[in-house]
Amino acid sequence: MSHKGDPGTKVKKAFLTLVVLALLAVALQSLVFSGASFTSSSGNPGNIFTAGTLTHTNSKDGQVVITAPGLLPGTSATGTLTITSGGDSPALYSLTKASVVDVPAAPGLSSALTLQVDTVPAAPTPLFLGTVAAFTTVDLGVLAPGASQQYRLTLAFPTAAADPALQGATMTLGLRVTGVTQ
């Protein structure tokens, strides 16, 4: 049995007081060392990335370039179109055969007629010369934004390709111009 005045009670009280003080000290230390820092920050705003655009105009867009009714062996027909490049960057343009319809299918007039593609004024060597059947695509060259280039297309019926079976035959050729940024 202990009393308030007992030496044992005083020792216990002193011990408890020391424990509480020690705990408080530990807690205070952890508060002091957790999360106190200096910081420094800076930013680089306004980094802008803008996608460009590529456009072009075709002087014969949606129209027929060459019409050659009654084409005979040894004759030819020509047509021209002008490509004007737009957008923000140079582009490589190409002329592609989009479709060909021969009536009759065989013998097909496309196998007899030749297609020649030239720049205007003409370069020493045409961009393409061959039968329509063999034609797939031809590079028209690189055009800077705003630049224009005229092209001449010539359809010829070579005498050597004359075939009585082709009399009255028709051919419809679809062409597509495409630009690709460089």
Partner 1 sequence: MKRMKVLFGQRRMMVLVTLAVLMLVAAALIASSASFTSTSANPANTFTAGNLKHTNSLPGAAILTVGNNPMKPGDTATGTVDITNDGDVAGVFTLSASSLVDTPGPLGANLSADLYLTVVEKDPLGAVISTPYNNVLLSGVPLPTPGINLGSFAAGEKRTYNFSVKFKDNGKPVDATSGDNRYKKAITLIEFDWEAITI
What does the binding site for partner 1 look like in residue numbers (CB under 8 A)? 37-54, 88-89, 180-181
- Nearer CB in complex with partner 1: 88/163: 88
Closest by CA to 93, choosing from 179, 2, 4, 3, is 179
Q: How far is CA 112 from CA 37, 66, 92, in A?
A: 85, 16, 30
- Nearer CB in complex with partner 1: 36/106: 36
Rounded to the nearest 5°, which phi and psi values hold at 72? -110, 155
Shortest distance (Å) from residue 37 CB to partner 1: 5
Would you mind telling me the total number of residues written for the chain in this entry? 182
- Nearer CB in complex with partner 1: 39/63: 39
Shortest distance (Å) from residue 58 CB to partner 1: 13
- Nearer CB in complex with partner 1: 67/99: 99
Shortest distance (Å) from residue 90 CB to partner 1: 10
Angle at 129 between CA 125 and CA 130, to 5 degrees: 160
Burial class (CB in 10 A: 0-12, 13-18, 19+), 81: buried
Cβ proximity of 89 and 136 under 8 Å: no
Shortest distance (Å) from residue 125 CB to partner 1: 26
Q: Distance of alpha carbon 6 from its chain centroid, rounded?
A: 95
Shortest distance (Å) from residue 182 CB to partner 1: 8
- Nearer CB in complex with partner 1: 57/75: 57
